[in-house]
Structure 1
Amino acid sequence: MTQNPLHWIDLPPVWLALSLALVWAFDQLMPWGLFGPTGPIVGGGLVASGVAIMTVAAGQMLAARTTVIPRGQPRTLVTGGLFAWSRNPIYLGDVLILAGAILWWDVPVAVPLVFGFILLIQHKFILREEAVLKAAFGAEFSQWAAHTGRWFGRNLR
């Protein structure tokens, strides 16, 4: 079976890049000034945090010898480190980068794009990945999912 060549274009980093390009385009078309001088400071912090979270999470996955490719077959269920606080720290990093760019470029009209991006990523990637993890790791995945937020948080019951 041959795969559609566009299959590799439909990946989270591409969606993030498209979203960032849209924010940048809004910035070029409509200067706002709403966030003031704190926008670039807070935005830069969010972008840096997002990149750091993504880097650490990818490193944890590679150290566990499992795939970081969204449609790949996982070999190991990574539940420690950042994955103890988020089932999807790389996607969380994407969201932080997008939100940071909106603040950095001072584009308040793009704030709804963050929520759209979250919905897109959740429905195009996360739900499928969770089904694959549940099929591969069963009760271990269910226990981890019960205690770890999809995006962020711990349930210590």
Structure 2
Amino acid sequence: MTNWDIQERPNRFPWPPLLLVAMIGVGFVLRELVPFGVSRTPLSQFSGFVLIAGALALDGWASLTFSRAKTTILPHRGTRNLVTTGPFRFSRNPIYVGNLLILAGVGLLAGSPWHVVLVPALAATIWYFAIAREEAHLAANFPEEWPNYAARVRRWL
């Protein structure tokens, strides 16, 4: 999978936040190149705001949970502890769920269906560039705990 020790760290580069920013940009480019006949409404804007606020709250909860577990939130750094509390009781990747919600929320706020259409593409790229490597890292570092946790808790929701 990689040419470095997966047990040391899952990645060399913090892909997920950069992928989110890139997909937001791609959504705006697509909106200009291939516009949909959709306009912003107060309901779509409110819904977008709610999605983004919920995502930020979820990210904050996950960050606080990582901090309490004395491990890193950075997706390219090695973990010291397998975190299974807080939002990690419901999702193995609550921050990435938050990223998907932010992308959809931006689309609703901006009246850009392209952002909503790009949500599955963001999920797939995050899986490829981050989740697969993070799960290999966790399996290498927590050979007994990880399989039980992964069997019990869904990847997304």
The aligned runs of 1:6-155 (5 Å cut-off) are 8=13, 11-27=15-31, 30=35, 32-33=37-38, 36-152=41-157
Q: Distance in 1 between matches of 2:21 and 2:37?
A: 22
* Secondary structure of the structure 2 residue equivalent to 1:138: coil
Q: Distance in 2 between matches of 1:63 and 1:24?
A: 37
**How far is 1:59 from its partner?**
1.4
CA displacement 1:89-126 (0-9 Å, x = unmatched): 11111010001111111112333311100000011100
- Judge conservation of contact 1:31–1:106 (CA < 8 Å) in 2: no
Unaligned runs of 5+ in 1: 1-6, 153-157
- Judge conservation of contact 2:51–2:105 (CA < 8 Å) in 1: yes
- Judge conservation of contact 1:32–1:107 (CA < 8 Å) in 2: no
**How far is 1:150 from its partner?**
0.3
**How far is 1:37 from its partner?**
2.8
- Judge conservation of contact 1:42–1:104 (CA < 8 Å) in 2: yes
Higher RCO, Cα 8 Å, sep 6+: 2
Q: Distance in 1 between matches of 2:106 and 2:94?
A: 18
Q: Distance in 2 between matches of 1:108 and 1:20?
A: 12
- TM (norm. structure 1) is 0.84
Q: Distance in 2 between matches of 1:114 and 1:26?
A: 14
CA RMSD across the alignment = 1.8
Q: Distance in 2 between matches of 1:110 and 1:57?
A: 24
